[in-house]
Chains A and B, each alone.
Chain A
């Protein structure tokens, strides 16, 4: 079983902090308009950041994946634990993506598309660019090897 790169926690955490700041600012403005105080905003930001940070840590711990003999195996999820088995024969195409924050952290994401209704769900974040490229190439080879003409 392979784990994600530890730095992905900082990517997730920065999203959480951004959310905390926005939520805090909105609450602070709302409270300021009605009472002239703004401490609720700080409280909201602290709570959101705290919950989010805990969630991020748990999320990182839960995440693992493995390139098996004939399928990509992914296990993840904090509240709902999700296990996905995506057979290589069903792979339509493989992408690697790099979001703005992930780029700052020097990380990339591999997305595997299948014809299924939850196709885009199969994505692996938090890989080093080299690992992402290698994984993408490996998945692509495996998909071709397993004769993907009957992908539907």
Chain B
């Protein structure tokens, strides 16, 4: 089958635009060297370039051919050298559909085929009709299910798609307002100087202090507004549904994403609540997968299952994926707070040191000791950090919680545990404490994203380490016998 005919003008136009962007930037430099200052020469060169691009894209379209067979996806492509590929369907983990605003107007979509290896996209069709992309996504999923079926006969009726979560408009607004998305920072770095350069500043207001304060307030407001806008655009029209054993989601205002999360690849569930969300009784749910996860850079990571909903609804949905029980959390011993208090106090002292250094080198405000006022807050902060920490051992699940400002509750099924790591720094050993980390395959992102029982008593830690390992082995064996029994 061929790509959509509109993909030729779309690809050509986007390529011309990107080449033109490079040409405009590079033009200033190259203009003199190539001596193309005459308008005729420049126009001629542009026409030649566009013709070449259009020709290339027409050839690409003519030579590109794909075919979905019973157990492979065959793709023939290439302008100068022809390449023929057969991708076994069982290796395809997910078909990801992306549509930018322009593509949606044209009715085309990019379909990307991701494999479980997850290091890169295996194949992408740019571009097919939106309905065709949807058909491919459904067909691949259906034929895969048929291929794993022992009888060999593929089920002719497609699995029904059942919506399990939809983001309400007022929730989307609330989510946009309470989320501070630091991806907005680069946008701000461009926008703020632009605005600032337009504002005439009278000499008095130029005083360093005033400018700094106004700038800081403006930046914070701008950051907040920009991140609200980013979040709004990102999660507009969010919908989560189940198709057979897969979770499928759709989101985005300008660019529409449509992807699926295979349930057997789910490693851990993470319930996230920042302090504002917790006050209002809301939470978010993320699913960590091994290998590829949709809408994220390949190589594993977390994908959002529910961006924002009432806490109870989030927990209910999480339990429909992994039925973990509601357990009371065990806290680390109270002496762990001393560590945090000392750590925060040292942080305050370091801040004071920086302030003093600035005071000595820049201006004598005489207020370098102001940060010391934060010192009494260190024990309070330590207490809240301690309050947030906790872990619970269920029959089949380990549940761990941490963080006051951004609380994360991680649910790990024992059979997903990889290695168990117990660590105790010098400072922990002084207080007789240790941390037990339950490492899973999903958590490639950050070191602190692993589920862990932090700062527990050393004897508890020893016991937990053995217990995690034992339960992993037991639950793995139980799953195997259950699988064999089916």
Q: Which of A115, A117, A121 contacts B450 (CB 8 A)?
A: A117
Chain A positions within 8 Å of B440 at CB level: 116-117
A97 in contact (CB, < 8 A): no
Contact of A46 with B by CB under 8 A: no
B425 touches A79 (CB 8 A): yes
Give per-residue flags for B395-439: 1 if the beta carbon is below 8 A from chain A beta carbons, else 0. 000000000000000000001011111111110010000100001
Q: How far is the CA of A79 from the CA of B418 in the complex (A)?
A: 25
In which size bucket is the chain A interface?
Answer: 20 to 34
Chain B interface residue bracket vs A: 20 to 34
Contact of A84 among B291, B420, B443 (CB under 8 A): B420
Q: Let me know if A85 and B469 touch, CB within 8 A.
A: yes
Residues of chain A with a CB closer than 8 A to B425's CB:
79-81
Which residue of the partner chain A has the closest CB to B267? A152
Contact of B473 with A87 in the complex, beta carbons under 8 Å: yes
What residues on B are CB-neighbors of A85 within 8 Å?
419-421, 465, 468-469
Residues in A neighbouring B422, C-beta threshold 8 A: 82-84
Given contacts A115-B441, A150-B476, contact A122 B423 (CB under 8 A): no
Taking a contact as CB atoms under 8 Å apart, the answer to whether B439 and A117 are in contact is yes
Question: Shortest beta-carbon distance, A25 to chain B, in Å?
Answer: 30
Do A81 and B419 have beta carbons less than 8 Å apart? no
Complex: chain B residue closest to A122, CB-CB: B419
Q: Which residues of A, 89-120, contact B by the 8 Å Cβ criterion? A: 89-90, 114-119
A121 to B473, CA, bound (A): 21
- Give Cα A50–Cα B450 distance, bound, in whole angstroms: 36
Asked if A77 CB lies within 8 Å of chain B CBs, one says yes
Known: A116-B439, A117-B450. A80 touches B419 (CB 8 A): no
Question: Is the CB–CB distance between A81 and B469 below 8 Å?
Answer: no
Give the complex CA separation of A50 and B265 in angstroms.
50
Q: What's the minimum C-beta distance from A38 to chain B, rounded to whole angstroms?
A: 29
Are A90 and B421 in contact, with the CB atoms below 8 A? no
Q: Which residues of B contact A84 (CB under 8 A)?
A: 419-422
A70→B476 contact, CB < 8 A:
no
- B108 at interface by CB-CB < 8 Å: no
Q: Is B290 an interface residue (CB 8 A)?
A: yes
A48 interfacial contact with B, CB 8 Å: no
Tell me how far the C-beta of B12 lies from the nearest C-beta in chain A, rounded to whole angstroms.
Answer: 42
Does A71 belong to the interface (CB within 8 Å)? Answer: yes
Q: Which residues of B contact A122 (CB under 8 A)?
A: 419
Q: Are A115 and B423 in contact (CB under 8 A)?
A: no
Q: Do most interface residues of chain B lie in helix, strand or loop, or is the interface mixed? A: mixed
Inter-chain CA distance A85–B426, complex, in Å, is 21
Residue with the greatest number of chain A CB neighbours at <10 A, chosen from B415, B434, B439, B472: B439
B188 to chain A, nearest CB (A): 31
Asked if A86 is at the interface of the complex by the 8 Å CB criterion, the answer is yes
Provide the residues of chain A in CB contact with B465, threshold 8 Å: 83, 85
Contact B290 A86 (CB under 8 A): no
Q: Is the CB of B290 within 8 A of A115?
A: yes
Q: Measured between C-beta atoms, what is the minimum distance from B447 to chain A in Å?
A: 8
Given A87-B419, A116-B419, A118-B439, the answer on whether A80 and B426 have CB atoms closer than 8 Å is yes
Q: How far is the CB of A118 from chain B (nearest CB, A)?
A: 6
By a CB distance below 8 angstroms, the chain B residues around A117 are: 439-441, 443-444, 450
The 0/1 profile, CB within 8 Å of A marked 1, for residues 362-388 of chain B is 000000000000000000000000000
Q: Which of B290, B439, B468, B476 contacts A89 (CB 8 A)?
A: B476
CA–CA, A10 and B56, complex, Å:
62
- The closest CB in chain B to the CB of A78 belongs to B426
Contacts of B424 in A (CB 8 A): 80-81
Known contacts A70-B473, A87-B473; is A118 also within 8 Å of B421 by CB? yes
Report Cα–Cα, A147/B484, bound state, in Å: 14
If A85-B419, A116-B440 touch, whether A152 touches B290 (CB-CB below 8 Å) is yes
Smallest CB–CB gap between A115 and chain B, Å? 4
Partner of A118, one of B291, B415, B419, B429: B419
Q: Kindly state the separation between the CA atoms of A114 and B421 in the bound complex, as whole angstroms.
A: 13
A90 and B420: CB pair below 8 A? no
Q: Which of A81, A147, A152 contacts B441 (CB 8 A)?
A: A152
Inter-chain contact B439/A83, CB cutoff 8 Å: no
Contact pick for B472, options A79, A83, A87, CB 8 Å: A87
Most buried by B among A85, A90, A114, A121: A85
Q: Which of B198-247 contact A (CB under 8 A)?
A: none
A101 to B55, CA, bound (A): 58
Complex CA–CA separation, A119 to B423 (angstroms): 16
A81: B residues at CB distance < 8 A: 423-425, 429, 434
What are 17 A-B residue pairs whose CB atoms fall within 8 Å in the complex? Answer: A77-B423, A80-B424, A81-B425, A81-B434, A84-B422, A85-B465, A86-B418, A87-B417, A87-B472, A116-B419, A116-B440, A119-B418, A121-B421, A122-B419, A150-B415, A150-B476, A152-B265
Query: Could you tell me which A residues sit within 8 Å of B by CB distance?
Result: 70-71, 77, 79-87, 89-90, 114-119, 121-122, 147, 150, 152
Please list the 3 inter-chain residue pairs (A to B) with the smallest Cβ-Cβ separation, ordered nearest first. Answer: A116-B418, A115-B441, A83-B422
Taking A81-B423, A87-B417, A87-B472 as given, write out 4 further A-B residue pairs in contact, using a Cβ cutoff of 8 Å, ordered by the A residue number.
Answer: A80-B426, A83-B423, A85-B421, A147-B480
